[in-house]
Amino acid sequence: MISLIREYSLEGSVLYIVTGGAGFIGSNIVHGLNRQGITDVIVVDDLSDGTKFVNLADLAIYDYIDKDEFLQRLESPRLGFPDKITGVFHQGACSTTTEWDGRMMMQNNYDYSKALFHYCQEKAIPFLYASSASVYGVGPIFKEDLEHEKPLNVYGYSKFQFDQYIRRQLSKLQSQVVGLRYFNVYGPREQHKGSMASVAFHLNNQLKAQGKVRLFEGCDGYGDGEQRRDFIYVEDVVKVNLWLMENSNVSGIFNLGTGSCQSFNDVANAVLKWHGKGSLEYIPFPDHLKGRYQSFTEADMSNLRQAGYSEPFFNVEQGVSSYLDWLNAS
């Protein structure tokens, strides 16, 4: 393969880098930057799945770089990037929780993140990265303390291990570093995620195709559809990321949920209400998920609130309604 390495000359420009920028949360962050009038954005991603291009088609960006070329730049002083990078939103990762290739997972989510972290520290560039609530496993306490962290899969472990690496660096930072432990994010631009897309996305499709929605029967002591998660609308995730980039004095690892769990039944009922039709049925809980399923999550948001973020979050009813307005607009 021929690598076309570009030279950048952007002296004085405001430039952001968004890894995973063609993905779900990354493309929403680019959209959020665009709403602020910021278009000097370099998107880094892997478009082997070419369907993700639709997440970029309506966005204004400065350039697109494949993730392998991006790594080449990080490791080469000759190539590099412009001197005045305003900030990096590191959202790129393998996020398939059912993937058990640990070597691949650690290369993508751990080694790659370390290389980018050190580049940002060397250049004094603010570095915001995506962690995950999966580091907590089954909980039941979801607070940013090591005693509560026990991932259930290798994806969660890769995020946990990078958080641990960052914790060891916090006392000697040269610039802002923030890890955000995303809880159950849903909203526009997630259609490429397939089985990993949100329950709201799948229920909307089920209702349109079959006139009904399906949820799992009860498990872990919860009734049918009463398993509870902290569902957070992607617009809130973007707001927090942009707020943090504007508050460079804030560093650390923070939960990012709403702080209030709601049931899967709440999501289903919000979908049914939006469509004004349909029914709800329950299906047997899959054997392969038993013992590896988060039946309850609820972010302890006290650390982010104490850091100064005071905006309210969408609840399920508000967020699902807004999402379905977007999802069913075409």
Task: Indicate if 165 and 265 belong to the same structural domain.
Answer: no
Average pLDDT, integer, range 94-102: 71
Catalytic residue among 193, 212, 239, 273: 193
Q: Is residue 330 part of a domain?
A: no
Q: Give every CB contact of residue 257 below 8 A, 6+ residues apart in sequence.
A: 133, 142, 182, 183, 184, 230, 231, 232, 297, 298, 299, 301
**Calpha distance 180→52 (Å, rounded):** 23
Identify the band that residue 3 occupies on the pLDDT scale cut at 50, 70 and 90. very low
**How does pLDDT run across 182-199, given as a tens digit for each residue?**
999 999 999 998 888 999
CB 156 within 8 A of CB 135: yes
Could you give the percent of the chain with pLDDT greater than 70?
92
Average pLDDT, integer, range 289-316: 94
The CATH number linked to 21 is: 3.40.50.720
Task: Indicate if 66 and 120 belong to the same structural domain.
Answer: yes
193 catalytically annotated? yes
Q: Is residue 7 part of a domain?
A: no
Range of the domain at 36: 15-186+232-259+301-313
**Number of domains, the chain:** 2
**How does pLDDT run across 238-258, given as a tens digit for each residue?**
999 999 999 999 999 999 999
Could you give the percent of the chain with pLDDT greater than 90?
80
Q: Is residue 138 part of a domain?
A: yes
Catalytic residue among 119, 136, 155, 186: 155
Q: Is residue 3 part of a domain?
A: no
> Burial level of 11, CB count in 10 A (0-12/13-18/19+)?
exposed
Decide if pLDDT at 82 tops 70.
Answer: no
Asked if the bond preceding 77 is cis, omega within 30° of 0, the reply is no
309 catalytically annotated? no
